[in-house]
Structure 1
Amino acid sequence: MITKKIFSLFNFHFSLFLVSLLTFFSLAKPSMVPAASLNLFSYGVFFLGLLLSACFHRSRAFFIILILGLSQLALTVHPAPDGAFRFYRLVIYPLICFFLPLNIIFFSRVKERGLLSFWGFARLGLILLQGFYIALAIFSHDAELTTPVRYAILPPPLPFFTPLPQTALFLFLAVFLFLLRQGTSRSYIDRALLAVLLAAGAAFHYIAVPNAVPFFLSTAIILLIIAVMQDSYAMAYIDELTGLPGRRALNQELLTLRGQYAIAMLDIDHFKKFNDTYGHDTGDDVLRLVATVMKEIEGGGKPFRYGGEEFSIIFPGQTAKEALPHLEALRQKIAKTPYVSHSKGQKKKRLPKRLFVTVSMGLAENSDSRKTGDMVIKNADKALYRAKENGRNCIKQ
């Protein structure tokens, strides 16, 4: 189970982090990259991330990006040569290493709220409170304020491979395991947080290497920007209930079709009666069940949620005759797949232990008289009504 989660999490976002890591090490002399240019780029990415996350109403990404940018500012705006280096290592660095993973795990659990709402201001206040604590430690020159952060959990003789304080190191590990256990069932922003944590950890680990902090923290922000765009795309094109591409995605797909293709319209039989009898929650579960089976369709079919209890399937490069066997296999598979209720209480009629549903389908292909995708869908819809009139649980052309 853990291996499966690792494989699913370490895909796109982790791959981008890995590319950035290899890029960093491929530079023969990282210090040769102008620090001013890299800082300018990183702060440009920072403000772009704030702008996009605010425009797309992704407050969690907004606040994490804000924290990453402020962390870079604190670690780079005051270089610490000579005598100031010891104070820098004792105060600023351990506090930022400690607070950042805590913020990541916090914002991985909270819900999206408006930036200008009460909750938005409360979360901003929490960030400012951390900044106030760091500023207090800096200007008071009181290293005791960081004593809990610099606490040695393991015996000092144990050789550590990283400059991170032990407390922060174990905190990074705990957050890493938590995000790993959380899995991929949530938004793209949640999926990106594991790679964001690793990028921040790399920035802190290579703190002594010139340009490491702006390089890796800007990488973390870029990962969040990509996740914001992915989430926005999913909201626009993916049906939230079933996980299938929605009507807008179908319209986009129709514009790309060329040559021969077939389209099927699918409708769940007696769905309204089913909904009225067992309740809308059970109806939603059945829609998810049918969509799950549809995702496994063979023959190159692309399923979409058309609306309500209706679905569409496009078969690019196939005739109706070629698509028919795959649709028949799908129809039989849906009819044989039971819905098993795990609900203890129902407002409507009590559900049987195993409930089966059937679907009716209409199939059409493009031709000289049906040149556009909309015309093919209309003909498939007419065939669907013939299937219903013919007793349902069948396919008509």
Structure 2
Amino acid sequence: MEAERKDSQPLDGVRIVDLTSIVLGPLATLTLAGMGAEVIKIEASEGDNVRLAGSALHDDMGHVFLHGNRGKRSVVLNLKHHAARDALLRLIGQADVFLCNVRPAAMRRLGLGPDVLKQTNPRLIQVTACGYGSRGPRADLPAYDDLIQGAVAIPELMQRHTGGEPAYVPLSFVDRVAGLHVVYAITTALYARERSGLGQFVEVPMFESAAHFVLADHLAGESFVPALGSSGYDRLLSTHRRPYRTADGYLCVLIYNDKHWRAFFTAIGQSEMFERDLRFSTQRSRSINIHEVYGFVAGVMASRTTAEWRDLLNTIDIPNQVPATLDALMDDPQLRASGLIGEEQHPTEGRLRTLGSPTYWNGTPSPTLSATPRLGEHTREVLKGLGYSEQELEILVQEGAVEVASTDK
């Protein structure tokens, strides 16, 4: 019994039917698969669009797809075909969670609206990852990461910070923020079902998720009614908040509290400045004058090499970090030791670097995730598990209702 508990995963026995694509939904179900959930990924015949994105050995196994879909099984269903819809409903009847990023109106047209799914499985947790919340006027608009970054003022914030042109954050920022909202929504809904015995419908909109992220930092003076000042958190927006240029490179430095500032001024031979210059004397004053404060540090940092600054700052306990390159990050000893970066032999894609979970659980070892699936790799296996005979499967394939993986790799 003890061995059973030790080897079990937090989400063992939870089956998730995943009708999502690109980054948001796949990140959520990848995370849940890493907690032990069974994830069945439903794809159209052309596959998830992101299969074609980025570096690839084979066209339909791009690096973004590879890193977002380990631990899942791929089933190809043509949901415009009635037999494929029947198969999906049969699968949903045995599932705990159905995650979808198809707009609700389109799902209703397919005969797969929330009421139909609830009738099929009253314990089902239905989660829709959408662009905008259904209670607002933009509910039916399409949404992509770049568009939502624009909608939540990220390009403006980037422009104010750099003093240049409006720009996107060079990450799938909104998709990944909203994807993590999906994770806690699903796990919390599963917990709620343990109490009530009933499933429910949960909506996770990209716009509201990202707006919450942005406004928590940048409401600033507009937090108060009437406003005490404008929006925008000055510390984050200062053009000097960046790695400081040293005599021979760059260094990230955060001189944060009074102890740090006293030690810093003493180390650079200006010990009297902490008391004399009121801009630096208190946390509140530094916050109000943050642009000048960061500007002063930027000017001083150029006077020594990176190595000289590191030696000095480490001696006086001021946090600092040499900014990494992407190439260096891939071989970071911390990430290797913690298991975030590993390697595996993929059946068709060769030797791959893999990304594990950033969390560590001392009572439940991380599961070994199966290799990222080829398109339709598990169609036969999953449908047979639903009771379809080999003959019935052949008919579904011939009718174009389902597809199975090609064998030419």
Is the TM value for this pair above 0.5?
no
Q: TM-score, normalised by structure 1?
A: 0.26
If asked which structure has higher relative contact order (CA below 8 Å, sep 6+), I would say: 2
Q: TM-score, normalised by structure 2?
A: 0.25
Look at both structures and tell me which one has the larger radius of gyration over its CA atoms.
1
